[in-house]
Amino acid sequence: MSAIPNHRVSVIGGGGNVGAATAFALIAKGVPAEVLVVDVADQAAQGQALDISDASFMMPGTCRKGTFQEAGQSDVIIITAGARQQPNEPRSNLIDRNYKIIKSIMDSLQPIKPTAKILMVSNPVDVLTHIAQKTSGLPRRQVIGSGTYLDTGRLRNALSQITGVSPTSIHAYMLGEHGDNQFTGWSAARIGGRPLLDHPKMKDINLDDIYTNIQRKAYEIINAKGSTYFGIGICAATLAEALLNNTSQVFPVVNYVESFGCYMSWPAAIGSDGVEQSFDVKLNDVESKKLDVAINAIKEICDKYN
């Protein structure tokens, strides 16, 4: 029997599609951690853990079903559990239901390891990250959300197809509130040290079309197969890896931005202490107005859960 890794990552809601995809991605990426699949649906958690463990025989990580109490002592706690929005359900009602779920999870995790980092994946992720921080009692820098990381990946993939440059060499971000109030920071986007929009292949590109296609993609996937989980699974696993390995990589994640006074999807360097630093992004006037809309929308909701 292989030795148990020193690090532990727990996936709350691991019995579902997003949680299972996240747990599998952690193993497939070769993250040297004990991955715990935790869910109130015990049988589903057991089945996912057994299946994923079959993929770990040639990887440094291990996978098993875990308890909420064990999860509370993890180095990284990934939360993928939450209520889905019902047809015609007001967003405020969905948030109220998810508040109760997140509060119940945090109560079940107690006592939470003081150095643990919480990664919120469930939506609405900006608001739920705020709620997770309040109900967990952990410092703000140790509680983050997946935010617009996946949306940014979709953006860079689209730009890569246009420019012929690797997505990893394109520095462009989706920012703001993940969802309706997110926007592209075109004026700050760079490629090879130069403004992205100066690239010759970007000359006649309709930027609104790129944004619309990114917004539409999730709905296309949901309409075709019911839900999205592979993309967000690899994003969550990558963020957990950065937290464990102290990589100081910059990601557009939900983090508490002091200058805004709220949690927001914004570029931040991620390391073993959580958020190491958040960055000032230079936006033009139109983008700044979109940012203000996102800040106000998030604050209006978060103020109800202080």
Which residues are annotated as catalytic? Answer: 178
Ramachandran sector of residue 184 (left: φ over 0; alpha: ψ -120 to 50; beta: rest)? beta
Smallest CA-to-CA distance from 214 within 161, 255, 139, 166 is with 161
CA 189 to CA 284: how far, in whole Å? 12
Burial class (CB within 10 angstroms; exposed 0-12, middle 13-18, buried 19+) of 230 = middle
- Which structure tokens are listed for 257? 């931005």
CA 142 to CA 266: how far, in whole Å? 15
> Which residues, 6 or more positions from 160, have their beta carbon under 8 angstroms from its beta carbon?
166, 167, 170
Smallest CA-to-CA distance from 293 within 213, 175, 132, 200 is with 175
- Which structure tokens are listed for 171? 């520095």
Q: Do residues 272 and 248 lie in contact, with contact meaning Cβ atoms separated by under 8 Å?
A: no
Smallest CA-to-CA distance from 235 within 221, 251, 246, 248 is with 251
The residues pairing with 254 across neighbouring beta strands, listed in sequence order, are 145, 265
Residue type at position 140: R
CA 137 to CA 139: how far, in whole Å? 7
CA 223 to CA 87: how far, in whole Å? 14
Q: State in Å, rounded, how far the first CA of the chain is from the last one.
A: 47
CA 124 to CA 158: how far, in whole Å? 25
